[in-house]
């Protein structure tokens, strides 16, 4: 699968963010070339996303009309992973970015993601808080310790040099994302988006990211939900390409 960079679709699931969502989009608009952005899709839950968030999204659509295509999509699959999976199906750009609306995925990095993707269009560009230059601010000590141990264990288990597989801030070739049979719906989906491509032999580029706890809204991921990540790590470890790809061998069959 050879990818060529033409533009990026940016997927932003949102629940209870207002100024954080605006700032995310404003920074992207202020730091990236409009021709590099295919679209920004704000994915909301019709039942759970707050009316203020929806209003903010509508204001952004008006503010950038004629400059950047922004639209709202009401998710049909549940939870954060389901929202992103809906976005993948819709993405029109050659590449797509998965990020959040709570400013924990620093929007200042998007132009760097794009620059790296132009250089390495077949690779996944992934943000790492553990790489030199990255950091955490406002992460509880216990979470930090658990994350450190988990990241080390999982890198060892997968023979991978990646340092931050649980962080949901990545750029992918769109075709790759559309070709995979995704399984997770909740937060472990962020981990799954590293593990399945790793099993397929896809290469990654890590860029350092500074993570800062949200100042608005609440995390949808309770502490004990983090234990679900073990199951995801285990289940994906022994998958083969024929288990992962929707249309394995399809190209050959067409001949």
Task: Output 169 or 204, the one with its CB closest to ligand GTP.
Answer: 169
CB 226 within 8 A of CB 146: yes
Under rule CB under 6 A, residue 45 binds ligand GTP: yes
Interacting positions 214-253 with Mg ion (CB under 5 A): 219
Q: How far apart are CA 50 and CA 41, in angstroms?
A: 17
> In the complex, what is the shortest distance from the CB of residue 98 to ligand GTP, in angstroms, rounded to a whole number?
10
Apex 63 CA angle, 62 and 68, nearest 5: 90
CB of 201 to Mg ion, least distance (A): 30
Residues 196-225 binding ligand GTP (CB under 6 A) are: 219-221
| Residue with smaller CB distance to Mg ion, 66 or 222 | 222
Instruction: State the residue for tokens 């994350």.
Output: 147
Is residue 43 near ligand GTP by the rule CB under 6 A?
yes
The token duo for 220 is 């949808």
Any contact of residue 102 with Mg ion (CB under 5 A)? Answer: yes
| By the rule CB under 5 A, 104 interacts with Mg ion | yes
State the Cα–Cα distance between residues 210 and 181, nearest whole angstrom: 31
Give least dist CB 12 to Mg ion, A. 12
Q: What are phi and psi of 200, to 5 degrees?
A: -85, -5
Among 36, 39, 102, 184, binds ligand GTP (CB under 6 A): 102
CA-closest candidate to residue 172, choices 133, 201, 202: 202
Is residue 137 within a helix (H) or strand (E), and if so which, with residue range?
strand 135-137
Binding site for ligand GTP (CB under 6 A): 13-15, 17, 43-45, 49, 75, 79-80, 83, 100-102, 104, 168, 187, 219-221
């Amino acid at each position: 699968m050879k990818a060529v960079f033409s533009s990026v679709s940016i997927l932003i699931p949102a629940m209870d963010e207002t100024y954080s969502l605006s700032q995310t989009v404003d920074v992207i608009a202020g730091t990236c070339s409009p021709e590099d952005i295919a679209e920004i899709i704000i994915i909301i839950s019709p039942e759970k996303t707050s009316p203020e968030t929806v209003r903010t999204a509508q204001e952004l659509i008006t503010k950038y009309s004629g400059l950047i295509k922004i639209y709202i999509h009401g998710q049909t699959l549940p939870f954060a992973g389901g929202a992103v999976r809906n976005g993948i199906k819709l993405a029109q750009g050659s590449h797509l970015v998965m990020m959040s609306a709570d400013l924990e995925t620093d929007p200042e990095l998007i132009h760097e993601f794009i620059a790296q993707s132009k250089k390495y269009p077949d690779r996944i560009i992934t943000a790492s808080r553990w790489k030199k230059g990255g950091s955490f601010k406002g992460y509880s000590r216990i979470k930090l310790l658990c994350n450190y141990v988990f990241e080390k264990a999982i890198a060892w288990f997968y023979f991978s040099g990646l340092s931050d597989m649980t962080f949901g801030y990545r750029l992918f070739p769109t075709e790759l994302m559309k070709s995979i049979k995704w399984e997770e719906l909740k937060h472990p989906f962020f981990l799954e988006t590293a593990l399945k491509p790793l099993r397929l032999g896809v290469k990654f580029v890590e860029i350092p990211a500074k993570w800062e706890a949200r100042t608005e809204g609440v995390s949808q991921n309770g502490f004990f939900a983090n234990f679900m990540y073990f199951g995801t790590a285990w289940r994906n470890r022994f998958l083969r390409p024929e288990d992962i790809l929707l249309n394995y061998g399809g190209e050959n069959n067409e001949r």
